[in-house]
Amino acid sequence: MRWLGAQLMLTSLVAADLLLSQPPPNASGKVLWNATWTDQLKHDLLMKYDKFARPAEHSNVTEVKFQLVIKHVEVDEVRSLMVVNAWSSFSWIDEKLKWNDSDYGGITKIYVGDHEIWQPDVVLYNSALGNSVDHYGNTHCIVYMDGSVIWVPPSQFSVYCDINLRKWPYDTHSCKLYFGSWVYDGEQIYLKRPEHKKNSDGDMEMDPCEWKVLSVEEFEHKKYYTCCSEPYYNIEVLITVERRSPAYIGVVFTPAFVCVVLTLLVFWLPPSASEKFLLSGITSVIICMFLAYFSQRLPVMGAHTPLIVEFYAYNLVLVCLSVVVSVVSVSLSRRARTRPVPWAISRILNSRLAFFLGLGDTKNTFVTMYPRQDGEELHERSLVDRGRTESVDTTSQQSLNCSRDWILLATAMDRLIFFLYLAIFIFIASVFYLS
């Protein structure tokens, strides 16, 4: 009887425990929570799951397929750094995450957190962030009934590049990113590209940015190290970008064209004009302002000096030389000359070359300012002073002829320097364009 009583008491305690473990009903009498097929499946799969152990036998290789979808690219010229925002796609087979869909209500896939299952330790080998290897965002993984896992986290990679600003602002840069497993060798993880993946010409759905992706090329490499006999697989991603630079036409190139025009206009002013120095000074100030802007905007890289910087520097040198030419020109045109121009030079100034240099207007202007005194004017003078007057007039006329020839020489020198400068600017522009 005592045994029977103990049995009845034990049965009562078990029944009470079952009643207390039931979830409380709501107002309508329905149970608030029941375990779903997904809960049951995740419980069975992850109850004894070790996310730090590779989900395969030690003798088997886990194939990990990896690819990038570029979404945004930023290039920091000062730090020689490229920052890539992308979607990283991983897929592999997890032998521990397989089930029969008929045992779990027809479920063929589930979603699990990235912290719940094993993930390949694929990192960027040439990262510019030092000891930080956490490139990926926290997103869920998709697990299918055959054990295949897909993980597509948003990612950010920073890598140092050899930035060549020679053609700035129409520069193009190529940077290499090397991805591979940090711990596992090639006998444990085989990192590869998807079979259908082809090298693309950039993603047309990229976020708006200053840079246009010209191409994204991926290459598989198998490398051996001196420390180990096992191979290590890595994937090289070569990204080529080009700067979108329509705004630089108005900011950089239009002022460059204006500086060239101002430099050339100096040689078309009259030889004795003081405005030559004012115009050259204004041009030099503008060029110095742009050189100061470039020194703040661009990094100091001795091996890759931008062509546009060299153009402004050459223009500044030419402006300084034009000031020297203006000093000589003003000196020749303003100083009183009693010595005539050498005969050879005078002959050249009165040849057909004068027509091509535009010296005819200078001659006409000089004749208008200092007209020759003809014979009738001399005849009207008194007979007493006629001899002395003719002598003075002849001396004055010779002085005017000498002054006219020296002014023509100064003008011819300005025009010759103009054509020389024009040829230099055309040559520099052609070299820059062909480069």
Sketch the domain layout of the chain as residue ranges: 40-244, 248-367+401-434
Rounded CA separation 67/236 (Å):
10
Say whether domain 248-367+401-434 belongs to CATH 1.10.4160.10.
no
pLDDT given at position 163: 85
Pick one of 2.40.160.50, 3.40.50.1820, 2.60.120.380, 2.70.170.10 as the CATH number of 40-244: 2.70.170.10
Cβ-proximal residues to 310 (8 Å cutoff; 6+ apart), any chain: none
Strands 148-151, 81-93: pairing kind? antiparallel
User: 3-state SS string over the chain?
Assistant: CHHHHHHHHHHHHHHHHHHHHCCCECCCCCECCCCCHHHHHHHHHHCCCCCCCCCCCCCCCEEEEEEEEEEEEEEECCCCEEEEEEEEEEEEECCCCCCCHHHHCCCCEEEECCCCCCCCCEEECCECCCCCCCCECCCCEEEECCCEEEECCEEEEEEECCCCCCCCCCCEEEEEEEEEECCCCCCCEEEECCCCCCCECCCCCCCCCCEEEEEEEEEEEEEECCCCCCEEEEEEEEEEEEECCCCHHHHHHHHHHHHHHHHHHHHHCCCCCCHHHHHHHHHHHHHHHHHHHHHHHCCCCCCCCCHHHHHHHHHHHHHHHHHHHHHHHHHHHHCCCCCCCCHHHHHHHCCCHHHHCCCHHHHHHHHHHCCCCCHHHHHCCCCCCHHHHHHHHHHHHHHHHHHHHHHHHHHHHHHHHHHHHHHHHHHHHHHHHHC
Strand-by-strand arrangement of the 172-181 sheet: 122-124, 172-181, 231-243, 211-224
Strand pairing partners for 65? 91, 192
pLDDT at site 391: 45
pLDDT score for 385: 46
> Which among 311, 8, 342, 380 is positioned nearest to 167, based on CA atoms?
311
Q: Is the pTM of this model over 0.95?
A: no
Cα separation, 66 vs 90, in Å, equals 5
Give the amino acid at 68: L
Query: Which tens digit of pLDDT belongs to each residue from 361-411?
Result: 554 454 444 444 444 443 444 444 444 444 444 445 455 556 666 777 778
List of the chain residues with pLDDT < 50:
1, 3-4, 8, 13-14, 16, 18-32, 202-203, 363-364, 366-395, 397
Q: CA geometry: angle at 290 spanning 317 and 309, to 5°? A: 60
pLDDT of amino acid 63: 92
| 213, 243 contact by CB (below 8 A) | no
Rounded distance, CA 318 to CA 265, Å? 13
pLDDT of residue 358: 59
CA distance 406 to 362: 11
- CA 375 from chain centre, in angstroms, equals 76
